[in-house]
Structures are given as C-alpha cells and as structure tokens.
Amino acid sequence: MNAFIRALLPVIFAPGLALAGNGSDPWFRMDRLNTLIFLLVFAVMVLVYIRLAKMGRPLFLRKLAGLDAMDEAVGRATEMGKPVLFIPGIQEVSEIQTIAGLSILGKVAAFTAEYETPLLVTVQYPVVMAAAQEIVKDSYTNAGKKDLYSDSMVQYVAGSQFALAAAVNGIMTRIKPAANIFMGAFYAESLLLAETGNLTGAIQIAGTANPEQLPFFIAACDYTLMGEELYAASAYLSGEPKILGSLKGQDLMKIVITVLMIISIILLLTSWKGIFILKLLETA
C-alpha cells in the first residue's frame, strides 16, 4: 500500500511540471518551485531514514542528561524507601507529547521494577490510564517482576486541569515521593505541581514541548527536557523506526539549513552572489 502511494507521487506531480506556464491561471506556479524542491528533498530524507531504521540499521542518537538523571532518581528513591511519582502530561493519548511521555514511562517502570521501588502514575483520561497500565505491566513482566505489578499503580484522577493539580498536590504532601517525573503536555498546572514537589523535597525531572511552561519547570525542577528533547528522549528509549527515522531526517535538514545560512552570510559579505541566494529563498 505504502509503496503504491509512493509510486503515485511523481505521477501526480509530473503533469504540473510539464504544463507549467505563466499568466494568471497557471498549471504550475514557478514562484513556488523552491518550496517544492525543499519539500521533496526533506520528504526523501525522512523516508530514507525511516527505511533504514526499519531495516535495523543502528542510528546514533546522543544520550540526554535528563535520562541519566532518571536512573539516579529511582536509585535515590530506593535508598529512601519512598515511591516515584510519574505524570504523563494532562492531554489525551492522541497528543504526541503524551505518546512520548508514555514511552519514557516504560523506561522508568523498568528501573523501578529492577530496584523494586514503588511507582505511582497519575493520569487525567481513562484512555491514557489504560495505555499506561499496559506499558507499566509490560516493563514489570520483562524485568521478571510480574508479581510486583498491580493495576492500582496507575491512578485515574478525574476532572479538569485544576482538579488534577489539587489531587496530585494532595498525594504529594501525603506520601512525599522521593522523585517526581513530569513528561508530556503540561499547561498552567505545571507551576502548581513543580512548586509542591519542590516543597516536599523530591528530585524533580520534567519534560514538555510547550515552551511557555518550560521556564517554570527549569526554575523549579532539577532536570528539564526542553521541547524537541522530549521527542528525542522517547525516540531514544522506544527505538520505534518511524519516530527515530523522522528525527534523523530532521537532524540532517538542520545541518543543511545551518550550512546554508553560514555560506550565504559569508557570500553576502564577500560578493554579490549572496543576494542571489536570498532571492532563491524568497517565498510567494
């Protein structure tokens, strides 16, 4: 099916290219040619990397500081004999940040299973709860500690944004977790959660792609995964080909853009050819 769709691509674009003309009602807008080339180059990069990842080619991603910190945090929780609290954001499971948060949960659960440390996950939606239970159960089974798992590790905290914040704050002050891990889509409640966690003396690790919440997490948590780092962390941990491949494709495109910027600036300063590159990037 995929191969079929991909084979169709050139067929769809070819008539447009062939009949390209000018005037007010053109078959192909030449002034948008740069976007088309850019689109095709980028699509090829992403698709090739996804293919490579599917074929099992090892693709390197650097390890993020926040991921090491998770191991440490679970270690400390074990020493103190206190639980680890995990929140995969407050969005539905269709949000990609939630998906990223859940794949990180898998790794955290593997750690807690290994060290035999209690784990508590709180979520806002029933569907997320089901998914989280599945993931935690898998991790415990893989670690050979299936008997330590129970469904009550994942709790559904009903209601709205602020109701969730109030409930989680109550849990934090009651059980005083040794580590709080927030990974996913957070909004205004980020501040409330991070502040209370700080007060109970937990190690706090946060990650979100919502830039307006990042300053609060950085100021109130010990480690923070910022923006794209959240996705990179999930690709690193889950190793799913389509996510890993896309990330590598994006990385390659970043190099292309950076190099293009540097060369153009040098050209702009040294000769008239720089102007030409600026023209090439002009969009209409």
Selected binder of another protein within 10, 14, 18, 27 (CB under 8 A):
27
Beta-bridge partners for 84:
119, 179
Q: At 199, which helix (H) or strand (E)?
A: helix 189-199
Tokens of 96: 């990609």
Ranges within 79-98 binding another protein (CB under 8 A)? 94, 96
Number of residues this chain uses to bind another protein (CB under 8 A): 86
Using rule CB under 8 A, residue 227 touches another protein: yes
With contact defined as beta carbons under 8 Å apart, do 138 and 161 qualify? no
Kindly indicate which of the ranges 76-84, 139-147, 156-164, 176-184 contains the residues binding another protein, using the contact rule CB under 8 A: 156-164
The structure tokens listed for 272 are 């008239």
Interaction between residue 264 and another protein (CB under 8 A): yes
Q: Does 231 bind another protein (CB under 8 A)?
A: yes
Nearest approach in angstroms of CB 266 to another protein is 10
216-252 burial code (b ≥16 CB/10 A, e <16): bbeebbbbbbbeebbbbbbbbbbeebebbbbbbbbeb
Contact with another protein (CB under 8 A) among 10, 79, 151, 262: 262
Structure tokens at 78: 């074990």
Ordered DSSP codes for 169-195: HHHHHHH--SEEEEES---THHHHHHH
Contact between 268 and another protein by CB under 8 A: the answer reads: yes
1 binds another protein (CB under 8 A): yes
CB of 2 or CB of 152, closer to another protein: 2
Work out how close the CB of 148 gets to another protein at its nearest, in angstroms, rounded to a whole number.
27
Token pair listed for 81? 């004999």
Contact set for another protein, span 158-217 (CB under 8 A): 159-160, 162-163, 166, 188, 191-192, 194-195, 198-199, 201, 209, 211-212, 214-216
